[in-house]
Structure 1
């Protein structure tokens, strides 16, 4: 068989390995301690992220979204960072994902002090944690020790659409070993996110082809969103998912209060507040003290989804490309 054929076979085998392997136990708190002499890898990443956020606070939402999109499709293996004509970046749900240059900067800073040791997959998780902490969220500890994946295919991207029902979303999260509580708390990332008008415009003018707006939307919010999203506008504007102006850049529980009072922008967000399966969790997050801890723990569990460890992956030199296709062959003991 030709080398190209071997690579194709190897990729197919790696796809099977990636799907079946879920080595949560191999991750550790402080995995990099002592591996870079006296260098603290997490301090390096935090310094880079802090510098970026000071220039652009919206990068917090971008990093939260990046981690979710990476981990939810094929696991937390930094596959979303790989360039290519048919990579995950090119899948429609990922076209608006941004922040790649932030991860590049963190990777370059780490490589300068500690070459060939720290994975891009770990940098995504550490960077997102630091972004949350910078944005008034509770700082949570993350385990590290992930390896970077070899493949990134647009057709493998499997993300819940904005139109999904609460029940179907619960099933999708369950397939990733994330329960209902994890799902509700992870939606707290919407506390710093935005949505394009095209994702909720039907609620403003022609909900379910009724010719009327969604009656479950607060009238004041309806007026605000109609002003931002005129019916015949050709520009796809955006609106904050947390409609509390004083809290739109903070990772806090304000988002849950907004949807509790029927001020959810996306239909799915609003459904969380009324569905019997999630209503109680939303109420506790909105008016209790559960959100900071619950969100952090849900992010930790998200970071454990279908990870690669040990010889299952590699440590990329550049987060945008695998080191060498031959690495895939050698990982499977195939003579190239």
Structure 2
């Protein structure tokens, strides 16, 4: 299937991590919350989650693409170095400036939420916690309610820049065969959770450059339903291929189970999504999440992801701004 892999580099990062987890079969111990605590801000900033939600709701009202954008930020943050908000730092030698992160957006929405928490509770709420709350709220705003009591683990702290490196550890390409992909830096999740997390592709769009080699060939990628391949080819004309984006599923503004249903029907836009149907280690998870079980499973997967590589207690700092370390 490699001949249909796209040459674009802006494909959504979570699809890389799915196959990595398949190869490595990495697992987070059940019940391990890495020093995180439910209701951590109950005394120091009791309204923090309401503050973040209201800010995100305003950002979403202005621009609905902030929902998939903020989710992507959360995934990129957690899977590179852990959930430390390093991806939010601006400046040279940061993840934010990496060519691999060129398609990320939603920074302004997270920044607005952080500013709102600083106004109410100066120096109390960390950028990683704001980002994770905002990611949860992105799902809620896209029409599905994540069980609230399962998404409030907090007390993450912000990481400092690491001298001598840019924090952008080499990542395997999402276009590499499953069997040749190496590990994610740091820790991982069991592969079933990784496949469930790929369901966030139920909202948002992908640039034509990330899948053009599937449809601009003769023959087209045989894993695509013929009518869907024709539709993609029509939408991604060569003249507009660098500027056009296509919905990742047929209900791109609603957080639902359509992503998995589309994969089963041969309508997976990214090859790394469609391949999940043809791998014996993932096809069962795809089929198991085409119904209502997905919502519970996604909540569990988001909580597990938010625990990766966190800094707690005296480590790191509490940034006053999401994009700058304190001076």
TM range (shorter): 0.7 to 0.9
State the distance in 2 between where 1:77 and 1:174 align.
14
2:156 matched residue in structure 1: 146
Aligned runs of 1:1-336 on 2, under 5 Å?
24-36=33-45, 39-140=46-147, 141-151=151-161, 154=166, 156-167=168-179, 172=183, 176-206=187-217, 211-231=218-238, 233=240, 235-242=242-249, 244=250, 247-286=251-290, 288-324=291-327
Residue deviations 1:28-54 (CA, integer Å, cap 9, x gap): 111000113xx4111100110011111
How far residue 177 of structure 1 moved from its aligned partner, in angstroms, is: 2.8
Gaps of 5+ in 2: 1-28
* Counterparts of 1:30 and 1:58, CA distance in 2: 29
* Counterparts of 2:60 and 2:206, CA distance in 1: 20
Give the gaps of 5 or more residues in structure 1. 1-21, 325-336
Distance 1:173 1:235, change over 3 A: closer
Q: Is the 1:69–1:159 Cα contact (8 Å) retained in structure 2?
A: no
The structural deviation recorded for 1:66 is 0.3
Q: In structure 2, do the counterparts of structure 1 residues 160 and 193 end up closer, same or farther at CA, with 3 Å as the change threshold?
A: farther
Higher relative contact order (CA 8 A, sep 6+): 2
**Helix, strand or coil at the partner of 1:25:** coil
Q: Which has the higher helix share?
A: 1
Shift, 1:176, TM fit: 2.4
Corresponding pairs, count: 292
Q: 1: distance between equivalents of 2:253 and 2:274?
A: 20
Moved more, 175-184 or 304-313: 175-184
TM-score (norm 2): 0.84
Name the Cα RMSD after superposition: 2.0
Query: 1:239 aligns to what SS in structure 2?
Result: strand
Structure number with greater Rg is 1
CA contact (8 A) 2:82 2:186 kept: no
After superposing on structure 2, the runs of 4+ consecutive aligned residues of structure 1 that deviate more than 2 Å are 22-25, 152-162, 164-169, 171-177, 231-236
